[in-house]
Structure 1
Amino acid sequence: MNAEVVVVGAGPVGLAAGAALRQDGHSVVVVDKLAAGANTSRAAVVHARTLEVLEQIGVSKRLIELGLPLQDFAIREGDRMLVPVSMRELPSDYQFTLMVPQPVTEKVLLDRLIELGGEVLRPRSAVGLTQDAEGAHVTLDTGEVIDAQYVVAADGMHSTIRELAGMKMPGDTLSLSCSLVDIRVGGGLSADEVALYFGSAGLLVVAPFADGSFRLVAEVADAPEHPDLAYAQHLLTERGPRAGAPKVTEVVWGSRFRIHERVADSYRSGRVLLAGDAAHTHSPAGGQGMNLGIRDAVALANALSLALETGDDTALDRYAEQSRAEAVRVIALAHRLTRLANVPRPVRPLRNAVLRLVAGSPSATRNLATQLAGLS
């Protein structure tokens, strides 16, 4: 089997890379080890810069139709507003944060890939990789070999392609784990904002979806594998708003994962290039992970198109350098938000006083909005 590019991994990052390459007229094979796409919500936020980037492959409008645009992001402690952050003045046509479950994003990207003449080979796992002067050669668990000019590793934090290419992703595994719970409530939560709560027990993100459900994201010492209704209620009661006494009526879905702060030493090794979680991973604070990965994917597709069309691969080195630098900045932002939420109790009055000063500075809140939106 031959293609100009083989993309390993068919999550949002791999699908975006594949669609962008097909949009530019290149042959691409996307492979994924799963028999079907995942149907859990996981990443749920699409920021303004990501929507700008997705214009290139013609999916931004469809995502907005299916999602919930929100113009307000708030940092709170219980019922007290610490920092209101408005997206209304973003230097973008998309002056909002879009709440849309990951399966919806994946379906829109997959539909676009197919519309552009692409497909996903499932279930196929990459088990071998070689490179030579003629190209890169990916061996699948079926025995098939795909011969390509370049390989995109979009196969997640435990990337097989990254390992086969001998690339390293050093960093730290934090003592905290992350609990994701999608819930329905009998009132008491705002459907008009994404709220970041600095609770006495730690951070809690509360974000609404278009169907009336809410996503809870909590950093905890030991997250349960299958959070139940009582656990979700405990998170809300302990960390969330007091007014309205929101009562959880249903747990739609839940999961957990460890929090890592890691970035690959390099995004390129010859004909192999990294994107998304294969290149970087960090705290979910600020909802940056999938957004950064999609921006990786489209930037990499543009660089690959240039290399394939001109024979000059300097654009690939530029992608590797610039995207890695952006990942370092995003990891630093997520780290700061996590640290702010988890300062020792005696320091919290000082933290809150500083945050109130930030809230009183329009330039500071605009800067935070710009960073969250990926526009800095």
Structure 2
Amino acid sequence: MNTVPATAQVVIVGAGPAGLTAGIVLADAGADVVLLDKLAEGANTSRAVVIHARTLEVLKKLDLADQVIEAGNVVPRFVMRDGDQVLARVDFGDLPTEYPYTVMLGQEHTEAILLARLEKAGGRVYRHCEVTAATQDDDAVTVDYTDADGAANSVRAQWVIGTDGMHSTIREAAGIGFTGASYPESFVLADIHMSWPDPRDEVSMILSPAGPTIVAPLPDPAGDRFRIVSTVAEAPEHPDLPYVQALLDDRRPGAKAEVHEIVWSSRFRVHHRLADHYRAGRVFLAGDAAHVHSPAGGQGMNTGIQDAALLGRLLAAVLAGTPATTLDTYETTRRPVALGVVTFTDRMTRMATLRPRPARAVRNLLISTATRVPAVRHALAYQLSELANR
């Protein structure tokens, strides 16, 4: 049966990584939690792939870090290039954490791990449920949704968490602004099998006059699967093998990369936006519903999971009798983190998309000179890892 209960203590709208994480924390605490998602199933493409040290620390508290590490590809190094010239190597090995590295794992696998953990805790996701409105009063929030047959239904909850993405229905229903803009460029996103000369324990950001390209090694028995994210003026809807091959030949000519297969590909445009508030009465936002930004640095999913873990703990405490004013600390703690991430990734993106030759020459000199200093490399690794968010 897929019958959604008529009432719950907490309703979570959106069953991506952030929604699932909040659901796990609440279910572990014995809360009556309902997760609604309009999709028939979870993610089946890899979208976000980077899991940073701070997120692994959060997942450890849910007994999931070891499982994620075993499923993923451990990558302890980030390398920045301009074409074939190495500008900087940033090593995560000296970070003050049990996890001095990143893990590359497709979002579909991360979501599957989180979903299994949610179900183990006694929670579940109700699918084919598209939320259409949320109306709150002094006592609760009524969440309206349509089911797989198009029938209108509702569930009433004490608290609602919107983790329903950039176009969040919950955020709009709560009247929370989403301030920011979009970048003019489009992005190519693809998972591919290819021959690539660099070690599989490093992620590369390749700068070029045409725009940056990120190459990340994904877990694969054959050891030849990679994620490509590349900025282009106007990407095709479904970049094919010849397109991706030409892109790599142009951005990193010395690599002599040979693309064997496109697993999946798409295009997207990137926004940098931040919710004006993370709370409106009994409604909260987390993940992409609260913040979206450039994929530079792989911060998005990580920030969302960390949002959700804290919010889940705070709501569980309030449901157990802690004063509701405790919930005010969610926005004061997490919104500054997201503001820092949006600012950092925006600077990285604008730096990486410089076109004029003189500006690129100055940028390259500054990067290569600054990152020769160990303290600078350590600071960059610390920021990328999100360990400052503890």
Q: Does 1:139 align with 2:106?
A: no
DSSP-derived class of the 1:57 partner:
coil
Please, which of 351, 354, 363 is the counterpart of residue 366 of structure 2? 354
Q: Report the Cα offset of residue 190 of structure 1.
A: 3.0
Divergent runs of 4+, >2 A: 186-190
Structure 2 vs 1, CA of residues 190 and 234 (structure 1 numbering), >3 Å: closer, same or farther?
A: farther
Q: Report the Cα offset of residue 188 of structure 1.
A: 2.7
After TM superposition, list the pairs within 5 Å mapping 1:1-376 onto structure 2.
1-141=6-146, 142-211=151-220, 212=223, 213-240=225-252, 242-243=254-255, 245-343=256-354, 344-376=356-388
TM-score (norm. length: structure 2): 0.94
Deviation larger for 40-49 or 75-84: 75-84
Deviation larger for 68-77 or 304-313: 304-313
Please tell me the root mean square deviation across aligned C-alpha atoms, in Å.
1.2
Measure the CA separation in 2 of the matches of 1:240 and 1:137: 53
Q: Work out whether residues 204 and 240 of structure 1, in 8 Å CA contact, stay in contact via their aligned partners in 2.
A: no
Measure the CA separation in 2 of the matches of 1:176 and 1:299: 34
Q: Gaps spanning 5+ residues in structure 2: where?
A: 1-5
Q: Gaps spanning 5+ residues in structure 1: where?
A: none
Q: Report the Cα offset of residue 143 of structure 1.
A: 2.7
Measure the CA separation in 1 of the matches of 2:325 and 2:16: 27
Give the counterpart letter for 2:325 in structure 1: T
Measure the CA separation in 1 of the matches of 2:47 and 2:374: 32
Give the counterpart letter for 1:134 in structure 2: D
Give the counterpart letter for 2:377 in structure 1: T
Residues paired across the two proteins, number: 375
Deviation larger for 75-84 or 151-160: 75-84
Q: Report the Cα offset of residue 315 of structure 1.
A: 2.5
Q: Report the Cα offset of residue 108 of structure 1.
A: 0.1
Identity %: 47
Measure the CA separation in 2 of the matches of 1:112 and 1:187: 35
Measure the CA separation in 1 of the matches of 2:138 and 2:359: 58
Give the counterpart letter for 1:284 in structure 2: P
Give the counterpart letter for 1:270 in structure 2: G
Q: Report the Cα offset of residue 195 of structure 1.
A: 0.6
